[in-house]
Structure 1
Amino acid sequence: MIRAVVTFTLLGAAWASVTHFTWSDCDSDPNRAIKISSVEVSPMPIVMPGPVTFSFNASLSKVMQGGTVELDLKRHVLILGNIHVPCLLGVGSCTYNYCTQLDSMLRSSDDATRKVGTQLKTILSDNHINADCPIPPQTASVSRATLQIPDPGSLASVIAAGDYTIKATIKDRNNNIQGCVSFKVELKRRSHGFLFG
């Protein structure tokens, strides 16, 4: 679960460009198992490929035997408003099993996915976050970890440059909501050309 929050924090809608990272806890249930107290991401916009630095503080108050993270990804398009980004190639508004997602990334045939998975595994380990199911109650804190975001390659057709709202709803194996977080981010592609190297 905690690794899912980290993973999907980076993956990644406002009328104008998002000039700074914003987030909100979208679960108002005071008895929810997952409580997120802070999230920071920089730079904003996030430039792909390139480094992203993030920090967060969260707590888990009960054992999580298994479940899912459901992403709802919306891109803001000037005239059309918020456009739902479907789940394509495992990216977009997808549902992920938080017990197996990191292992799936580490075994992926896609080199970029494996690299991100390896970085996430290191960040979890370095910060003593137990993300193996069943996930025990714990406080998770990451301070200024850096993740190298690869060139999106073929995923660029799914995740284009622009402003996004990403909502991650974390559910237990009985489909009960245990936490929710929403982010507003801007994604940009690094310019490559004769003027920009």
Structure 2
Amino acid sequence: MNYFMGQMMKGKGWKEHLARGRFDVGGATWSLLHLRSSSHQIVIPGLAVQGVQAVTLAIEYSSHCVSYGPKQGVELDFDEMGHDHLLIDHRGVCRAFCPRRYTLSIQLPSIMASLADRQCLFTGHSNWLTLEGYQLGYPEGSHYEVYFNLRRESARSLRVHVESAYIRDPDHPSSRPMRLKRHEKIKGWLLIVKKLRGEPIRRPVRR
């Protein structure tokens, strides 16, 4: 990496943006305070008999909730869009700040706070998906897709990592909706309980 590139990328990491609590781009300041790590306690009926009064969810958010990455084989042109758009994710990949994703992200804390009451869909990978309904300014039938994973930290706590969140672009060929089977879902509270207990989580079988 040459000196110019090093200077351009300095201070552009997601953790650094979060530490500042804002993203400055195009002469505007976008607050990131709502995407800082936070803890949320929930009470799940039935767990009290096991001596667990409440479960703590330690929630953290990825830069993918407010940025988009390069298309396959094509690098993002920051000379054209402006180097103030640059955001480097946890894998060291250069991404670009996305005002549309940012605006949608404002609702993420409330979505994750209600995780126990939400339907969670199997993705076929190591993460899960929950959907938020109609969003103002987007086509009818579109959904805000929130992808997350869960990791057990103790008998009473889970770490929730929100990996990405966006609405698919119906006009973009690479953004075709996922073929998710609606019966392949699990209630959030049950997902949380199984993760706490270290139990396997299997896809429900259609009968």
Higher-strand-fraction structure: 1
Q: TM-score w.r.t. structure 1 length? A: 0.24
Larger Rg: 2
RCO greater where, 1 or 2, for CA within 8 Å and sep 6 or more?
A: 1
